[in-house]
């Protein structure tokens, strides 16, 4: 089933988009950042955009890097919360040189799915579902699974990012996550050799990246092997997969086709775009998702 999803996130709001930028509210601060998909014009005036608490200025020599211009009194780091059912998350945000702030708020729609599915697995008698979160970043999906009582293995190749995720766990009043600083593909290859099994796998790969020891990740070249390894790690019954794609031009149809080749066709699947709508009702997709239960 193709479905567009947008989460109900009280501490996040997409205020306006246009002219290749977006204006967002994260908790108490407004943030202005580049957005290559905002091909239309802004709806709010310059006085609103120029009043942003933090504005990202792109380095002319780089497509990704830059620096932040802050209004007086604005802090470099702050916390926000996310609530769903009995899940209560707290996460630290920070202004990075790559224009990111520490979360991708559209992923909250997947956090809800992860939380609900882990709760359902426990209701079936699986006391502590085993969940593997790959390319796990600052751990929103990890916390969602842990909040539902899952035993979570969190894998990311960047040690400071894993430290950040651990801090978010502690802010959320949780513990007992298994932290792995390693190249994700190298890790799943080893898990396959070990015969490890998981009830849930969350796969959030970048278009391009480097592993902890300099391993090169290129999505189009490596994703088929990654999915094949994950298929060998996922339990045949009472299991789920969440697969995200952020590369422009890669559709939900492509994601589903790649998953079907590796896993077969599951009985329950869903795919589409994760999006937010600004105050002028302009919708902008922030990622493609595919997920299934079996």
Structural domain includes residue 37: no
CATH number at residue 248: 3.40.50.150
Rounded Cα gap, residues 6 and 23, in angstroms = 17
Q: Which residues of the chain have pLDDT under 50?
A: none
pLDDT for 4 equals: 86
Give residue 140's domain range.
Answer: 103-293
Structural domain includes residue 63: no
Structural domain includes residue 86: no
pLDDT (tens digit, 9 = 90+) per residue, 23-41?
Answer: 999 999 999 999 999 999 9
Domain count, the chain: 1
Structural domain includes residue 65: no
Provide the 10 A C-beta neighbour count for residue 64.
11
Q: Are 102 and 136 in contact (CB under 8 A)?
A: no
For residues 78, 58, 213, 92, the Cα torsion angle rounded to the nearest 10 degrees is 10
pLDDT (tens digit, 9 = 90+) per residue, 74-106?
Answer: 999 999 999 999 999 999 999 998 899 999 999
Structural domain includes residue 212: yes
pLDDT for 248 equals: 58
* pTM of the model as a whole: 0.94
Q: Are 91 and 166 in contact (CB under 8 A)?
A: no
Structural domain includes residue 16: no
Q: Are 205 and 184 in contact (CB under 8 A)?
A: yes
Q: Are 134 and 107 in contact (CB under 8 A)?
A: no
Structural domain includes residue 228: yes
Provide the 10 A C-beta neighbour count for residue 6.
18
Structural domain includes residue 116: yes
């Amino acid at each position: 089933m193709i479905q567009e999803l947008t989460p109900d996130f009280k501490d996040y709001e997409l205020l306006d988009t246009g002219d290749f930028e977006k204006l967002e509210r994260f908790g108490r601060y407004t943030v202005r950042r580049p957005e290559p998909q905002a091909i239309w014009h802004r709806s709010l005036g310059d006085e609103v955009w120029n009043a942003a608490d933090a504005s990202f200025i792109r380095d002319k020599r780089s497509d990704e890097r830059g620096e932040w211009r802050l209004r007086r009194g604005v802090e470099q780091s702050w916390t926000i919360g996310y609530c769903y059912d009995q899940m209560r998350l707290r996460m630290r945000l920070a202004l990075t040189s790559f224009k990111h702030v520490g979360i991708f708020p559209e992923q909250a729609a997947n956090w809800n799915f992860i939380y609900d599915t882990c709760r359902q697995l426990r209701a079936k008698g699986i006391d502590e579902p085993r969940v593997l979160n790959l390319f796990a970043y600052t751990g929103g999906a990890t916390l969602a699974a842990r909040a539902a009582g899952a035993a979570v293995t969190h894998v990311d190749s960047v040690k400071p990012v894993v430290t950040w995720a651990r801090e978010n766990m502690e802010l959320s009043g949780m513990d007992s996550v298994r932290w792995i600083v390693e190249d994700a593909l190298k890790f799943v290859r080893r898990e396959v050799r070990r015969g490890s099994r998981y009830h849930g796998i969350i796969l959030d790969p970048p278009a391009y990246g480097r592993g902890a020891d300099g391993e090169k990740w290129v999505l189009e070249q490596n994703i088929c092997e990654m999915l094949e390894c994950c298929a060998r790690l996922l339990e045949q019954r009472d299991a789920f997969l969440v697969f995200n794609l952020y590369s422009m031009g890669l559709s939900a149809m492509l994601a589903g086709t790649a998953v079907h080749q590796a896993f077969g066709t599951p009985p329950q699947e869903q795919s589409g775009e994760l999006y937010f709508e600004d105050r002028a009702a302009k919708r902008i997709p922030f990622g493609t998702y595919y997920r299934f239960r079996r």
